[in-house]
Structure 1
Amino acid sequence: MAGCVAQSGDKVEFLSRLDWPAQAHDLGGFSGLELSADGRRFIALSDRASLVEGQLIRTGPRLTRIEQDAPRPLQNRSGTPLTGPQADSEGLAIGPDGQMFISFEGDHRVWAYTGPNRPQPLDSPRAFLGFAGNGGLEALAIDGQGRLYTLPERSGQLIHPFPVWRYDLGRWQQVFSIPRHGGFLPVGADFGPDGLFYLLEREFTGLAFRSRVRRFSFGEDRILSEETLLETSAHKHGNLEGLSVWRDEAGAIRLTMISDDNFQGFQRSEFVEYRVTE
């Protein structure tokens, strides 16, 4: 059911959450999310190499209903559905021309799609081979110039920053690193309509998940500013992994997130929304 009481923090206001039961989509493991500019249409990416498109219905600021189309499997370069180790799709970014980019773990890579059909692989640097099997490219975003940004979920050690990779003019380059604070790991990202980079991070406490959203201003080869917008307590939400940032009719930035239920009955798929207040 939708959340019905808005809660406020220093920089964001919680608006609502809405469960998305498995019988509505026959999927789970949602790890990537993109919304239309008005926040109504969505594309959700499952980590089982499938996409679901649909519409988010709101009453006032609150999510009240989800309408979705049938899932569509992602295909490999041979034109057949992705399966096995190559099917761990995690990050989703959509360019202004509608082209989709999807990042994968395990076989760490990014592929370009004009739909769910045959992809165009982007050349991967050798450094991608060194990422942990389940700690690779979960977060993927595209900026206003059409450049892709990604970073691995794991940096190697608690004190090591996360290397940020940018794809521009046909090649990847590691341009700078994002500082690591505590046990949070990057799982989703988006550039907002304000041109800033929003990073969704997750921490597993052993019993529950915590979520954090940081906002950055990027220069060509360095980070210009960083601030934490949201840091939740354990059990506040599920395993939030996908993030889409958009501007509502009142001009406020909204953060819409989706959770990964890990295909477990005791976890849930849900949409969660916050409004940025400063």
Structure 2
Amino acid sequence: MRRSPAIRLSLALMAAAALAVATYAGARAGRVSAEARLIGSYTWAPPVQPEKPWFGGFSGIEMGKDGRSMILLSDRAHLVRARINRTEGRITSARVTKRRSLRASTGRILQGRIVDSEGLAIAPDGSLYISFEGVSRVAHHQRGGSRAEVLPRPNAFRQMPANKALEALAIDGAGHLYTLPENAPDKDGNLPVWKWDGSEWSQPFSLPRRGRFMPVGADFGPDGRFYLLERNFLFFGFRSRLRRWDITEDGPQNETTLLQTALGTHDNLEGVSIWRDAAGILRATMVSDDNFLSVQRTELVEYSLPD
């Protein structure tokens, strides 16, 4: 999510206050759901910054099956490929191997208010789908550096509030896309989910909104279930929640809350990728959006999940 300078200044002050309570909040991490277990948290320091810093603002992530490769998306329309090292299954280092700027349908580098990229989904053929907030849309890229093919925009997308639009994006085993806005509830106050079947958009169901959490990331796991990462921002920091559903012909079933963290346990987690490690354990790897603020951090967080 991109924010105005005034909001970013407020976030900086709030995040600074959050650092003062981070140690205390971290000690309370045991209060998260008993079903999800923390594997580790790695703070990724930025590489040497060029004249126009690009590292940070990560809102989307896709892990490779090997657990060592990943693709990240920033909210300034940068795609980053990286390799990570592990010790006893925990992330111990990460390095960028390639970076590209996203292109518009004209082939030009994205600029201005159309830049706000948020959700990332990788198709079976390796092509990429990306959802945007500033001008609500979903774009398809054959490769990271190729020009965008913008999917049709229903009127509902055009009417979504600025900076509260298509935050989360996921693709199922059939290649169907699912996206939902951060804060554009349906008439009942729930979270409307939009589906692209390859030819048109529909809004087949909504998910129940519980408490003050808002959706920021989504993924379909190797188990075929739909996972939703949510965030709650309070004065002293962030809380995160991870829920999942079975998506059936009758709609979402078997809602389960896997994780709900204490305030300040992690930074601003916005992207999530669900995968299985070599031992067959289901993992959730999440990345934080540091809002390009020195008082926040880029954090890679992993939890093991029950089947």
TM-score grouping bracket, smaller chain normalisation: over 0.9
Q: Of the candidates 287, 291, 296, which is equivalent to residue 258 of structure 1?
A: 287
What's the CA shift for 1:232?
Answer: 0.2
Letter of the structure 2 residue corresponding to residue 36 of structure 1: G
Asked if residue 74 in structure 1 is aligned to residue 98 in structure 2, the reply is: no
Aligned equivalents of 1:23, 1:65: Cα separation in 2: 12
TM-score, normalised on structure 2?
0.85
Whose helix proportion is higher, 1 or 2? Answer: 2
TM-score, length-scaled by structure 1: 0.94
Which residue does the alignment assign to 1:214? 243
Q: Which residue of 2 aligns with 1:196?
A: 225
Kindly report which structure 2 residues correspond to 1:160-239, keeping only aligned pairs within 5 A, or say none.
Answer: 160-239=189-268
Cα RMSD for the two superposed structures: 1.8
Using the TM superposition, name which of 36-45 and 193-202 deviates more: 36-45
Task: Tell me the distance in 1 between the aligned counterparts of 2:171 and 2:276.
Answer: 17
Cα separation, partners in 2 of 1:158 and 1:186, compared to 1, 3 Å: farther
* Matched-pair contact (CA < 8 Å) for 1:91–1:137: yes
User: How big is the shift at 1:131?
Assistant: 1.1
Instruction: Output the CA distance in 1 between the equivalents of 2:216 and 2:276.
Output: 22
**How many percent of aligned residue pairs carry the same amino acid?**
49
1:187 deviates by 0.3
Distance 1:201 1:158, change over 3 A: farther
1:158–1:183 contact (8 Å) kept in structure 2: no
Structure 2: how far apart are the matches of 1:168 and 1:214? 23
Paired AA for residue 22 in structure 1: P
Distance in 2 (CA, whole Å) between partners of 1:137 and 1:104 is 6
Moved over 2 A (4+): 6-9, 22-26, 155-159
Residue correspondences, number: 274
Determine the C-alpha separation between the residues in 1 that align with 2:58 and 2:229.
14
Aligned-partner SS, 2:230: strand
In structure 1, the partner of 2:42 is 18
Deviations 1:79-130 (A, max 9, x none): 1110110000000000111010000001000000011220111101111112
What 5-or-longer segments of structure 1 have no aligned partner?
Answer: none
Q: Does 1:114 align with 2:142?
A: yes
Q: Please tell me whether residue 84 in structure 1 is matched to residue 128 in structure 2.
A: no
Native 8 Å contact 2:165 2:180 kept in 1 = yes
